């Protein structure tokens, strides 16, 4: 299989890679390897979801370049993994993955057509709806599948890998390392900023006395990793954008957890919107 050039798998693999904003087939492939390592069920759900999301875009004849960049696969992939993370993988959940992936693609296209950066917001919208529906109305059984979990230790390296892994609901050190390498292949700067963001967000969470186990699992770091990757760059001001966005993710997440909201990647999306607004206010000569 040649992944160096465009092939039939290009939009699907890039769709997985775009979860961490990487337009790279190898990135997507390594993400899938990490997901399958932690949970075969999650891996199957990811493949099904990115396939449905991408095929929906093709059937609806969305822009071919956007499809090949994977822009219609990442929210769908996250929906697939999220639903089998929260619920037992029964037929109704597999059906929800299919419906949710297609719906996420349609929502994503609406915002792309309006030139509005929504990042993973379609994933958040669809998943929140399903969480509410399955928890409060149908009372679907919670997930019972086993995933690989490593012993939690107070170690910056382990902690930072968990920050990468939890972006796609994976808890092992190996999955986190694979995700880091996957990003590094496309953008070393983004990967290193992601590591720094993971450690910084955990430090802030410790400072605010959040539960140690949650911090070490990467619960307060995965949104920060996404923000750090999003605003990474080689200019000095990029560091400021990363710092502000990472701090915002922690504060937003603490607030959401306090009021018992399902966090998902909303702190990343909200913090990114705020920082994008700040960037517009900065004089062009300072950008």
Q: Is the pTM of this model over 0.85?
A: yes
Q: What is the pLDDT of residue 151?
A: 47
- What angle, 0 to 180 degrees and rounded to 10, lies between the N-to-C axes of helices 74-86 and 91-113? 150
Burial class (CB in 10 A: 0-12, 13-18, 19+), 197: buried
Do the beta carbons of residue 147 and residue 92 sit within 8 Å?
Answer: no
Distance of alpha carbon 223 from alpha carbon 264, whole angstroms: 8
Distance of alpha carbon 279 from alpha carbon 148, whole angstroms: 40
Which helix (H) or strand (E) segment is 151 a member of?
Answer: none
- Residue found by looking up tokens 């899938």 in the block: 32
Q: What is the pLDDT of residue 154?
A: 56
CA dihedral 54, 57, 63, 69 (to 10 degrees): -20
Mean pLDDT for each 10-residue chunk of the chain (287 residues)?
A: 70 98 97 96 98 98 97 98 96 98 98 96 98 91 64 64 95 94 98 96 95 91 98 95 98 96 97 95 69
Q: Helix, strand, or coil here: 7?
A: coil
Q: What is the pLDDT of residue 57?
A: 98
Compute how many other C-beta atoms are within 10 angstroms of the C-beta atom of residue 259: 6
| Domains annotated on the chain, with CATH | 10-138 (1.10.3430.10), 156-286 (1.10.3430.10)
> Per the structure block, which two tokens stand in for 117?
């950066």
Q: How far is CA 246 from CA 43, 49, 187, 196, in A?
A: 28, 29, 19, 10
Do the beta carbons of residue 97 and residue 51 sit within 8 Å?
Answer: no
Distance of alpha carbon 103 from alpha carbon 122, whole angstroms: 8
């Amino acid at each position: 299989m040649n992944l160096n050039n465009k092939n039939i798998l290009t939009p699907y693999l890039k769709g997985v890679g775009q979860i961490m904003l990487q337009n790279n087939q190898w990135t997507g492939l390594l993400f899938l390897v990490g997901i399958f390592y932690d949970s075969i069920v999650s891996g199957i759900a990811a493949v099904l979801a990115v396939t449905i999301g991408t095929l929906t875009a093709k059937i609806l004849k969305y822009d071919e370049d956007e499809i090949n960049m994977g822009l219609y696969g990442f929210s769908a992939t996250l929906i697939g993994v999220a639903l089998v993370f929260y619920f037992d993988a029964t037929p109704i959940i597999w059906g929800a993955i299919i419906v949710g992936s297609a719906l996420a693609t349609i929502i994503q296209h609406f915002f792309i057509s309006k030139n509005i950066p929504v990042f993973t917001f379609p994933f958040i919208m669809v998943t929140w709806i399903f969480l509410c529906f399955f928890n409060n109305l149908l009372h679907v059984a919670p997930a019972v599948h086993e995933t690989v979990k490593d012993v939690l230790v107070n170690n910056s390296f382990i902690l930072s890998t968990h920050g990468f892994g939890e972006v796609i609901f994976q808890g092992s050190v190996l999955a986190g390392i694979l995700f880091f390498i996957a990003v590094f292949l496309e953008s070393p700067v983004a990967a290193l900023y992601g590591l720094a963001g993971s450690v910084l967000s955990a430090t802030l969470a410790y400072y605010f006395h959040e539960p140690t186990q949650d911090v070490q699992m990467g619960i307060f770091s995965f949104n920060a990793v996404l923000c750090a990757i999003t605003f990474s760059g080689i200019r000095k001001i990029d560091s400021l954008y990363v710092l502000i966005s990472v701090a915002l993710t922690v504060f937003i997440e603490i607030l959401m957890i306090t009021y018992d909201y399902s966090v998902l990647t909303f702190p990343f999306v909200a913090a990114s919107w705020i920082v994008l607004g700040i960037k517009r206010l900065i004089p062009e000569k300072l950008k």
